A and B are shown apart, each in its own frame.
Chain A
Amino acid sequence: MRFVDEFRDADKAHALAAKIAALCEPGRQYKFMEVCGGHTHTIYKHGLEDYLPEAITLVHGPGCPVCVIPMGRLDDAMHLAARPDVIMTSFGDMMRVPGSNGSFFDAKANGTDIRMVYSPLDSLKIARQNPDRKVVFMAIGFETTAPSTAMTMLRAAAEGLGNFSVFCNHITIIPAIKAILDSPDLRLDGFIGPGHVSTVIGCRPYEFIARSYRKPVVVAGFEPLDILQSIYMLMLQLAQDRSQVENQYSRVVPWNGNPVALKAIGETMELRPYFEWRGLGFISHSALKVREKYAAMDAELLFEVPGVRVADPKACQCGEVLKGVLKPWECKVFGTACTPETPIGTCMVSPEGACAAYYNYGRMHRTRVPEAARAAGSRAAGS
């Protein structure tokens, strides 16, 4: 398949892996954080770690929007959805995230009207078809999905649609990265920058990381070769004692971002003074809310939202996993009490969550020696 297979070429991967290995200084350990959950997913889905030398550790960052939704916000959403006059619409990722009293899926099975949509625009369709009901879109995501929520709001306003509103949980990536950089329990050598977010915000916002924290950043695409090449670019910066923001994903990410998308966000949303992130706590100016001009579409104003803060389950160590302090399997409940079927923490829910990715794709006894196995042919590797 064109534009896909080129980025999954095993021969090129071997060549890159050799170049990465050659850049490793003997005795030095390298820790890179891939900020975005999409990268975590790619890394496990394609078995990318098989190509990395032992000295390089990938730390899975907080860039999975489902994973950082605090339980209280979900309970608020559930409260909204339970109103008989409301139809809640949500992306599929959110459906299995556990709140204090079960997930959207559980609520749906109990008769709550929650509908899965593939685009916020689908919510408008539902709103048009149900003029006597109030359609609330559960808006989640970083700057990646915020523009589509914004465009949907603009469309609703243009159509004069009175029964559509947004429960806004959009968050912004930079404050989260800053929180991680300031966290004392983590030492990182560089960042694999989030590709999708950067299509909107561009590369400039990361410059403080290179300048003030002296860590290299490489904005990366989502195919396995993209990630491998980004790791090579990070290693090269370290070897040359540079710390810069580089753009590996230039085929998609413009250096200055997408001004149209940014304008739509700016028109409809503004920064909240602070917002709670699961595992990371309250981070100031880290999330968006609906602007006053569009108050008629702000579900938080239209309906009564309890806004209660709910502590995460005690056993859950999502916070440490999200900060990259713990590897998924190091969590006390990983794979036993907390599994994709019965997730306790959000990292186990989304396919982009570090725990789910490790459980679904990486949970195996890697007893083989990759080089020898490859030489003997892939078939023989398992026996």
Chain B
Amino acid sequence: MTAGRAEQVTDREQQVLDRIDRARRRRPRVREERVTMSHGAGGKATQTLIEAVFLEEFRNPLLEPLEDAAELRVPGARLALTTDSYVVSPLFFPGGDIGDLAINGTVNDLSVSGATPLYLSAGFILEEGFPVADLVRVAGSMRVAAAAAGVSVVTGDTKVVQRGKADGCYINTAGVGVIDRDITLGAARARPGDAVIVSGPIGDHGITVMLARGELDIEADVCSDTAPLNGLVAALLDAVPGVRAMRDATRGGVATILNEIAVAAGVGVLASEDDIPVRPEVRGACELLGIDPMYVACEGRLVAVVPGDQASEAVRALRGHPLGAQAAVIGEVTASQPGIVRLTTAFGGTRIVDLLVGDPLPRIC
């Protein structure tokens, strides 16, 4: 093969690329007059909405990093606080339901912030006519999930709205944890030379929920990966205290996390498609649906950034835990191309992995 494509980027194209970089750094503005489904998809539109509306109104140093949980310093302790709402449809799907999702999601947001999750709140918005038996089933799986994660639901709220004003059952959970290790984590701490690790096969949850809706007439033997990550995180931090950042790859998938890291730390990320674990069933379904598994949500996977020389130690620690058996290094942090995530494709080419505009799979969590 000939070299030469390298020089293909002319000065003029370079100028255009620079102009785009500048445009992308401009302050976000919501142009739409109304909220659209894209605003909830976890991609660019969500980010714009959060930054232009919520961050603008609530701006404070604790909120500004926009991490999965805020770190609160109170006398004698470092606490982590997070909240999340669950509107998944359908409510019950292979491998879980809205109940365990609501517990695990909040437990995971605390865990990847380096906190030991302790106490959760639960708020329910129920639609008139929702079967009580389903509510009991949901509450039951919340109990089981909370026990598995070692947390308690200590306060709550219940509201009922008229038929048609909600879709069965929505749940909000908030959680408090204590950061008892001497660590500071954050996407902005990623440095060139660091390794990017994912704790297992990606995309299971999103594809499972999508197929569970039964709209596509595709069947695949997949299950949601919903699981509490606090044990896995503890195993990783015990082995590699120098972990720079962790995120759980929910809405927007691994691609979105990598982009958040690239932007927050002002670094490039270069991932390798061959190294990203994806189950064949998930890959097959994605291939049929024209979806990139990199954007599909997980509910029991984390992405970790660790110093390059500690990568193998980190993978070993993750693999030693049942939830991390297929952990793998999927890429590295680079000084070049700051703010951009690139992927070496299995075919041998290179491309960008950008944030999605809208999600092809709405209401997966």
Do the two chains belong together in a single complex?
yes
Q: Residues on A close to B: CB < 8 A?
A: 1, 4-5, 8-10, 13-14, 17-18, 21, 24, 44-54, 92, 96, 105-106, 108-110, 118, 122, 224-225, 329-330, 334-336, 339-342, 351, 359-372, 374, 378-379, 381-383
Residue of B nearest to A10 (CB): B348
Complex formed: what's the CA distance from A106 to B8 in Å?
A: 39
Partner of B357, one of A17, A335, A340: A340
Complex formed: what's the CA distance from A340 to B357 in Å?
A: 7
Residues of A within 8 A of B336 (CB): 365, 367, 382-383
Residue of A nearest to B28 (CB): A341
Residue of B nearest to A117 (CB): B215
Q: List 8 A-B contacts (CB under 8 A).
A: A8-B346, A13-B348, A46-B351, A225-B347, A329-B16, A379-B272, A382-B268, A383-B192
- By the criterion CB–CB under 8 Å, are B19 and A335 in contact? yes
Residues of A within 8 A of B350 (CB): 47, 50, 364, 366, 381
If A21-B2, A366-B9, A370-B1 touch, whether A50 touches B19 (CB-CB below 8 Å) is: no
Interface positions of B from 200 to 248, Cβ below 8 Å from A: 215-216
Residue of B nearest to A125 (CB): B215
Partner of A96, one of B20, B283, B348, B357: B357
Binds A, one of B30-38, B87-95, B177-185: B30-38
Q: Which among B2, B33, B280 has the highest number of chain A CB atoms within 10 Å?
A: B2
Complex formed: what's the CA distance from A222 to B117 in Å?
A: 48
B55 interface residue, CB < 8 Å from A? no
Interface positions of B from 103 to 159, Cβ below 8 Å from A: none
Interface positions of B from 317 to 362, Cβ below 8 Å from A: 331-332, 334-337, 340, 342, 344-352, 354, 357-358, 360
Residue of A nearest to B26 (CB): A336
Complex formed: what's the CA distance from A8 to B280 in Å?
A: 16
Q: How many residues of B contact A (CB 8 A)?
A: 61
If A46-B351, A51-B1, A364-B342 touch, whether A335 touches B20 (CB-CB below 8 Å) is: yes
Residues of A within 8 A of B192 (CB): 383
Residues of A within 8 A of B16 (CB): 329-330, 334-335
Q: Residues on B close to A: CB < 8 A?
A: 1-9, 12-14, 16-17, 19-20, 23, 31-38, 44-45, 48, 192-193, 215-216, 268, 270, 272, 280, 283-284, 287, 290, 331-332, 334-337, 340, 342, 344-352, 354, 357-358, 360
Partner of B349, one of A48, A118, A359, A367: A48
Residues of B within 8 A of A122 (CB): 215
Residue of A nearest to B329 (CB): A379
Residue of B nearest to A336 (CB): B23
Complex formed: what's the CA distance from A44 to B353 in Å?
A: 11
- By the criterion CB–CB under 8 Å, are B13 and A329 in contact? yes
If A106-B32, A362-B351, A366-B8 touch, whether A14 touches B270 (CB-CB below 8 Å) is: no
- By the criterion CB–CB under 8 Å, are B351 and A118 in contact? no
If A363-B352, A383-B336 touch, whether A109 touches B34 (CB-CB below 8 Å) is: yes
Complex formed: what's the CA distance from A105 to B354 in Å?
A: 21
Residues of B within 8 A of A8 (CB): 345-347
Q: A17-B1, A363-B20 are in contact. List 5 more A-B contacts (CB 8 A).
A: A14-B348, A47-B349, A50-B350, A109-B35, A342-B31
Complex formed: what's the CA distance from A374 to B3 in Å?
A: 11
Complex formed: what's the CA distance from A286 to B215 in Å?
A: 34
- By the criterion CB–CB under 8 Å, are B344 and A381 in contact? yes
Complex formed: what's the CA distance from A105 to B4 in Å?
A: 42
Residues of B within 8 A of A24 (CB): 2
Residues of B within 8 A of A96 (CB): 357-358
- By the criterion CB–CB under 8 Å, are A370 and B3 in contact? yes
- State how many angstroms separate the Cβ of B268 from the closest Cβ of chain A: 6
Complex formed: what's the CA distance from A351 to B357 in Å?
A: 11
- By the criterion CB–CB under 8 Å, are B280 and A1 in contact? yes
Residue of A nearest to B38 (CB): A105
Complex formed: what's the CA distance from A383 to B31 in Å?
A: 37
Residues of B within 8 A of A374 (CB): 348
- By the criterion CB–CB under 8 Å, are B19 and A336 in contact? yes
- State how many angstroms separate the Cβ of A227 from the closest Cβ of chain B: 10
Residues of A within 8 A of B268 (CB): 382
- By the criterion CB–CB under 8 Å, are B352 and A361 in contact? yes
- State how many angstroms separate the Cβ of B155 from the closest Cβ of chain A: 34
Complex formed: what's the CA distance from A342 to B24 in Å?
A: 12
Partner of A369, one of B6, B12, B215, B290: B6
If A381-B270, A383-B192 touch, whether A1 touches B20 (CB-CB below 8 Å) is: no
Residue of B nearest to A359 (CB): B354
Partner of B1, one of A1, A14, A225, A351: A14
If A335-B23, A364-B340, A379-B272 touch, whether A341 touches B347 (CB-CB below 8 Å) is: no
Residues of B within 8 A of A49 (CB): 5, 8, 349
- By the criterion CB–CB under 8 Å, are B6 and A367 in contact? yes
Q: Which among B14, B280, B351 has the highest number of chain A CB atoms within 10 Å?
A: B351
Residues of B within 8 A of A13 (CB): 347-348
Complex formed: what's the CA distance from A280 to B290 in Å?
A: 28
Residues of A within 8 A of B283 (CB): 1
- By the criterion CB–CB under 8 Å, are B3 and A364 in contact? no
Complex formed: what's the CA distance from A351 to B14 in Å?
A: 23
Residues of B within 8 A of A105 (CB): 36-38, 358
- State how many angstroms separate the Cβ of B190 from the closest Cβ of chain A: 14
- By the criterion CB–CB under 8 Å, are B347 and A362 in contact? no
Residues of B within 8 A of A53 (CB): 1-2, 4-5
Q: Which among A1, A361, A367 has the highest number of chain B CB atoms within 10 Å?
A: A361
